[in-house]
Amino acid sequence: MISAMSPRDPALHPILEKVGRGERLSREDGITMFRSTDVVALGQMANAVKQERSGDAVYYVFNQKIEPTNVCVLTCEFCDFAAVPGAAHAYEMSLQSILDRITPEVHEVHITGGLHPTWPWEYYLEMIRSIRQRFPDVDIKAFTAVEIDFFHKKFKLSVQDVLAQLQEAGLSTMPGGGAEVFSERVREKLFHQKIGAGPWLAIHKAAHRLGIPTNATLLYGHIETIEERIDHLLRLREAQDETGGFLTFIPLAFQPGNTGIKPTHEYTSAIDDLKTIAISRLMLDNFPHIKAYWVMLTEEVATIALNFGADDMDGTVGGEKIAHDAGAQSPTALTKERLVKMIREAGKVPVERDAFFNPLSVDAEFVVGKIPYLNSVPFYAFFDSPEEKILPVVPRRMGILARKKEIISGPFSLMDYVSIENDFELMEFCIATRDQVKSVLLFSKGGWRDLEGKRIAITDDTATSIRLLHVLLEHKYGVHAEFVRLHPGVNDLRGFDAVLLIGDEALHCNKYGLPGFELVFDLAREWYEWQKLPFVFAVWAVLRSLPEVRKASLHDALKESLRRSETSMAWLGAQHGKRIGLTAEEAREFLEGFNYHLGDREREAITVFKKLNAQVKQILWTLNS
């Protein structure tokens, strides 16, 4: 709890207060934190922010790094990986040898390499295409902004065309490499042939606009100053405010190797690594995740970093060259079991994920799901039951984990609850509206009846809202539309006539508008005006096989959190509104629009909805390419 902390360094007190109030930190705050020697306080603050965002979860992915060639037209000072064409250690991988590196258990491939002087554009496209064909379920994270810029110039294609063609071939996300430090001073000294901040950011924003989420990095621990590190973070934060397309931030600890940049060959200190992780978590308030990249940090420091604000460990990696050519002392790959052990040692919950950070499986007992939206805050704000571990997960994914019994309880989307009823019993809590909800919204170009035969984009998160939309369209308005499921994160909304958004994203767009979609329909209000009933979006349920004492203690902890929340709505509004751009008052009013207790009217509403839902035809789904 932030409120219980008391840093030894008085310079951190105003920063602690800001963090406690959920306020954005300034450049000066960043510099103060780097100058502070109170590393423990920085770690505690960052860990508290991490817990608030990702609960006890720490993510990892079963991945395979592939560096198709080290032949590179650049000769950057800090890089020991690149080879000039014809050098004895130069290598080039064939398509077959790339494919041979991917085994069936791999969930993500991470491709990045040298800027090859003669490989044709078709080779890169074929690389992505053939991986996609051979391994349809693998996420392909490929090519840094530096490579994209190289393709753009060499093959005389616009950046947008390069990205769109790669996306068409099967690219899922882009890695965050090549950012180095956004300082012209450092660029001139260490990598003057490489693109600087402007083009790097422009390429990432272009990717986001196409619906390609990306990562971001900072190469630290060489000749950059503290101020330059902070300015780098601020530029990333600004870009993220604009697009929301960054998934995770990765501070890359410089490996001195034979680069000659650090004649004394010293590595970054563990203190500097941990401070950089913590300060990144605190400054980048709009980045969902912070990665502890064990390859460059070492396994030991990466494990400690999980209590300093990091919530992601990258993955098994399966062989890495860039850092190891520069003297990294970590192994070149880790087993899944080793990663799980490290995460457990840090006291966190290991969650295997895909490249989009969708949880695939959870490796712990007594995990309780948390819907990561403002409307669920009252269940967790004062939840105090150390035995249970909290995992934030969007409604649809929570259903998937519950079916595998990897979580013991949570507020399940109503439609999901129907499918797990045999194993889970209802608790007396729910998320129901009073009349309108303001966070389940259809943004549309026209009225309801104009949607006949039109394409509606559906956020990946929803399970019940989409059924409600379907029921409203078919029963209330007699309209049949085509539904297209979006990827998580960012998306290109051109070509759609309406978009269904839920949760904080919907709240945010409701306040600031969604360009091109002028009309906004609140689905709960539509339902209320039609049925004169509340709408129940989620019901709390608990695994039937759980010992009764555990059920009782979970029930009591939830009840107590709700009781305290109900008398602290103004405080909760102030704490949580800012994150999504709402004033304290707007957030309070929003929270007060919910009923969290499952009563007779809520049960009646569930029965009516289930009946109507059973009568509508199957949803007509179209895959988003």
Residue number with the shortest CB distance to ligand V47?
A: 177
- Hey, what amino acid is at 179? A
Q: How far is the CB of 325 from ligand V47 (least distance, A)?
A: 8
Q: How far is the CB of 207 from ligand V47 (least distance, A)?
A: 12
Element (H, E) at 32: helix 27-35
Compare residues 223 and 570 and give the one whose CB is closer to ligand V47: 223
Q: Which stretch binds ligand V47 (CB under 6 A): 177-185, 476-484, 533-541, 584-592?
A: 177-185
Q: How far is the CB of 422 from ligand V47 (least distance, A)?
A: 39
Q: Does 322 bind ligand V47 (CB under 6 A)?
A: yes
Compare residues 322 and 580 and give the one whose CB is closer to ligand V47: 322
Compare residues 30 and 175 and give the one whose CB is closer to ligand V47: 175
Q: Does 176 bind ligand V47 (CB under 6 A)?
A: yes
Q: Which stretch binds ligand V47 (CB under 6 A): 170-178, 369-377, 448-456, 491-499?
A: 170-178
**Cβ count near 227 (within 10 Å):** 13
Which parts of 325-384 interact with ligand V47 (CB under 6 A)?
A: 326
Compare residues 124 and 590 and give the one whose CB is closer to ligand V47: 124
For ligand V47, which residue of 178, 318, 378, 503 counts as binding (CB under 6 A)? 178
357: Cβ contacts below 8 Å, ≥ 6 apart: 59, 247, 248, 288, 289, 312, 488
- Spatial CA neighbour of 380 closest among 370, 365, 389: 370
Q: Does 250 bind ligand V47 (CB under 6 A)?
A: yes
DSSP β-ladder status, 359-362 and 367-370: unpaired
* Residues 98, 105: Cα–Cα separation, whole Å: 16
* Interface characters, 95-124, with ligand V47 (x: CB under 6 A): -----------------x------------
- Spatial CA neighbour of 474 closest among 296, 613, 300, 319: 613
| Helices (H), ranges, 541-599 | 548-566, 569-577, 584-592
Q: Does 252 bind ligand V47 (CB under 6 A)?
A: yes
Contact 483, 510 (CB under 8 A): no
Q: How far is the CB of 179 from ligand V47 (least distance, A)?
A: 7
Backbone angles phi, psi at 562, to 5 degrees: -65, -45
* Residues 379, 394: Cα–Cα separation, whole Å: 15
Q: How far is the CB of 139 from ligand V47 (least distance, A)?
A: 11
For ligand V47, which residue of 166, 282, 323, 401 counts as binding (CB under 6 A)? 323
User: Helix, strand, coil % (nearest 5) of the chain?
Assistant: 45, 20, 40
DSSP β-ladder status, 440-444 and 498-502: antiparallel
Q: Long-range contacts made by residues 122-128, C-beta under 8 angstroms, separation at least 24?
A: 123/95, 124/151, 124/166, 125/165, 125/166, 125/169, 126/95, 126/169, 127/68, 127/95, 127/98, 128/166, 128/169, 128/170, 128/171
Q: Does 180 bind ligand V47 (CB under 6 A)?
A: yes
DSSP β-ladder status, 409-413 and 519-522: unpaired
Question: Applying CB under 6 A, what is the total number of residues that bind ligand V47?
Answer: 25
Q: Which stretch binds ligand V47 (CB under 6 A): 29-37, 318-326, 449-457, 480-488?
A: 318-326
User: Mind spelling out the 3-state secondary structure of 356-409?
Assistant: CCCEEEECCCCEEEECCCHHHHHHHCCCCCCCCEEEECCHHHHHHHHHCCCCCE
Q: How far is the CB of 553 from ligand V47 (least distance, A)?
A: 39
Q: How far is the CB of 176 from ligand V47 (least distance, A)?
A: 4
Q: How far is the CB of 470 from ligand V47 (least distance, A)?
A: 37
* Residues 117, 405: Cα–Cα separation, whole Å: 51
Q: How far is the CB of 180 from ligand V47 (least distance, A)?
A: 5
Q: How far is the CB of 253 from ligand V47 (least distance, A)?
A: 6
For ligand V47, which residue of 144, 303, 409, 613 counts as binding (CB under 6 A)? 144
Which parts of 199-218 interact with ligand V47 (CB under 6 A)?
A: 215, 217
Q: Which stretch binds ligand V47 (CB under 6 A): 126-134, 227-235, 248-256, 486-494?
A: 248-256
For ligand V47, which residue of 113, 177, 318, 369 counts as binding (CB under 6 A)? 177
C-alpha 141 chain-centroid distance: 14
Compare residues 276 and 409 and give the one whose CB is closer to ligand V47: 276
User: Mind spelling out the 3-state secondary structure of 431-445?
Assistant: EEECCCCCCEEEEEC
For ligand V47, which residue of 143, 246, 254, 496 counts as binding (CB under 6 A)? 254
Which parts of 294-313 interact with ligand V47 (CB under 6 A)?
A: 296
Contact 326, 259 (CB under 8 A): yes
Which parts of 68-87 interact with ligand V47 (CB under 6 A)?
A: 78-80
**Cβ count near 546 (within 10 Å):** 16
Contact 455, 482 (CB under 8 A): yes
For ligand V47, which residue of 147, 314, 352, 416 counts as binding (CB under 6 A)? 314
Q: How far is the CB of 66 from ligand V47 (least distance, A)?
A: 12
Compare residues 73 and 400 and give the one whose CB is closer to ligand V47: 73
Q: Does 427 bind ligand V47 (CB under 6 A)?
A: no
* Interface characters, 258-297, with ligand V47 (x: CB under 6 A): -x---------------------------------x--x-
162: Cβ contacts below 8 Å, ≥ 6 apart: 148, 151, 152, 155
* Residues 586, 588: Cα–Cα separation, whole Å: 5
Compare residues 255 and 358 and give the one whose CB is closer to ligand V47: 255
- For ligand V47, the binding residues (CB under 6 A) are 78-80, 112, 144, 175-178, 180, 215, 217, 219, 250, 252, 254-255, 257, 259, 293, 296, 314, 322-323, 326
